[in-house]
């Protein structure tokens, strides 16, 4: 599954940035960069950081993580509803972390072979 490459492409398009700009930042050709968006297991941590910097987002955003800044408030009767929302956000965050771990393990495994 090409989830990170898809997120990168979507963010790049949302920011109106052409593939050539990110390719230049990475020091590769546009066609090589295009292949990175299609085959994200070729992305290294260094490349991910350069892409994130170019897109002006954090690397966590490339992995689909939500904003972790949560403000806890005392809302009386709404407290239970807020807890349910926080639990759902935590589940989504855990899922994103599991995806990230799987992706990083696949990179390590390929480098070992």
d(CA 2, CA 102) in angstroms, rounded, equals 12
Q: How many structural domains compose the chain? A: 1
Is 35 within 8 Å of 6 (Cβ atoms)? no
Whether residue 78 has pLDDT greater than 60: no
Q: What is the pLDDT of residues 17-47, one digit of tens each?
A: 999 999 999 999 999 999 989 887 778 889 9
Which of 104, 3, 111, 10 is closest to 57 using CA atoms?
Answer: 10
Residue 45's CATH number: 1.10.260.40
Q: What is the pLDDT of residues 40-67, one digit of tens each?
A: 777 888 999 999 999 999 888 888 876 5
Mean pLDDT over all residues of the chain?
82
d(CA 74, CA 70) in angstroms, rounded, equals 13
Range(s) of the domain holding residue 97: 3-112
């Amino acid at each position: 599954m090409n989830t990170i490459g898809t997120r990168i492409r979507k963010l790049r398009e949302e920011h109106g940035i052409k593939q050539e700009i990110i390719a230049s930042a990475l020091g590769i050709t546009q066609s090589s960069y295009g292949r990175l968006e299609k085959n994200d297991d070729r992305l290294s941590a260094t490349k991910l950081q350069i892409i994130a910097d170019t897109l002006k987002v954090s690397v966590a955003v490339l992995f689909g993580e939500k904003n972790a800044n949560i403000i806890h408030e005392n809302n009386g009767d709404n407290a239970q509803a807020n807890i349910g929302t926080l639990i759902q956000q935590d589940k989504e965050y855990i899922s994103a972390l599991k995806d990230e771990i799987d992706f990083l393990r696949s990179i390590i495994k390929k480098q070992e072979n």
